[in-house]
């Protein structure tokens, strides 16, 4: 049986003006039985739609802050966004939803998906949502630093079969108001949204933590990648 092909959003380096990739995104997919392909850094709608025709699913990676323009706000001083990436991901997400292709969002991924679908974000957690929970840990990033509670009526609970897990955490922004078509499936102890899904979509999950850093040590991280890849069997 052919392995599902998964388009992975590229990371962008402002200083080097280059695209790059963290190996954990690819390795997590490969370990789960998929074949990852990094998409080019473009925003041409026609070209992106052609590329998506060969992809069975899409992974929205971490990286730059999501531009507040997506949800009608002026950026605060600490926001560092990338317009090309926002434009590219908006096209890809819309196409993935229309074609019902599986989507997994990680870190920036959950933030972008929420903002693009009509939600809002905390632009700068340290000033807009002060908390004792560690949301910006220091290396190594495969060590869990806080607890996440999982909604029992969510697909994440069905996947992991537990109400609480320990996760790693490294993010500057976070979900504020949840988009109308999304539902919360995980929260941190301080009340921040840590997981979202779209009930009417075949598979659209997004998490705030980083399974790409922890999948080697953490079974729950591997299960998330596996659920994502397994959801594409419909396209075989």
Tens of pLDDT, residues 145-185: 999 999 999 999 999 999 999 999 999 999 999 999 999 99
Provide φ and ψ at 96, rounded to 5°.
-65, -40
Task: Kindly list the domain boundaries of the chain, sorted by start residue.
Answer: 5-235
Q: What is the CATH number of domain 5-235?
A: 3.40.50.880
Catalytic residues: 107, 210, 212
Calculate mean pLDDT across residues 187-210: 98
List pLDDT tens digits, range 91-108: 999 999 999 999 999 999
pLDDT of residue 1 exceeding 80, the answer is no
pLDDT of residue 234 exceeding 80, the answer is no
Mean pLDDT computed over every residue of the chain: 96
pLDDT value at residue 236? 41
pLDDT value at residue 212? 98
pLDDT value at residue 57? 98
d(CA 10, CA 103): 15
pLDDT of residue 235 exceeding 50, the answer is no
pLDDT value at residue 233? 77
List pLDDT tens digits, range 43-65: 999 999 999 999 999 999 999 99
Six token digits for residue 227:
């659920």
pLDDT of residue 118 exceeding 90, the answer is yes
DSSP 98-162: HTT--EEEETHHHHHHHHHTT--EES-HHHHS--SS-SBPPSPTTS--EEEEE-TTSHHHHHH--
């Amino acid at each position: 049986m052919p392995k599902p092909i998964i388009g992975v959003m590229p990371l962008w380096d402002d200083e080097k003006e280059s695209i790059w990739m963290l190996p954990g995104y690819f390795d997590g997919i490969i370990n789960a039985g998929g074949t990852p392909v990094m998409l080019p850094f473009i925003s041409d709608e026609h070209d992106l739609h052609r590329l998506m025709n060969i992809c069975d699913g899409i992974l929205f990676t971490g990286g730059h802050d999501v531009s507040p323009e997506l949800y009608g706000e002026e950026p605060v001083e600490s926001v560092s966004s990338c317009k090309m990436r926002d434009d590219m991901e908006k096209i890809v997400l819309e196409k993935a939803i229309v074609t019902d292709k599986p989507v997994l969002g990680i870190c920036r991924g959950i933030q972008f998906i929420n903002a693009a679908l009509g939600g809002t974000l905390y632009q700068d957690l340290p000033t807009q949502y002060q908390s004792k929970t560690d949301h910006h840990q220091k290396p190594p990033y495969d060590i869990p630093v806080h607890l996440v509670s999982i909604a029992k009526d969510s697909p994440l609970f069905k996947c992991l079969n537990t109400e609480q897990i320990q996760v790693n955490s490294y993010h500057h922004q976070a979900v504020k108001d949840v988009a109308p078509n999304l539902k919360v499936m995980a929260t941190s102890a301080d009340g921040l949204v840590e997981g979202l899904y779209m009930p009417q979509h075949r598979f659209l999950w997004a998490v705030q933590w980083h399974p790409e850093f922890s999948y080697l040590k953490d079974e729950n991280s591997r299960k998330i990648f596996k659920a994502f890849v397994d959801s594409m069997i419909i396209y075989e």
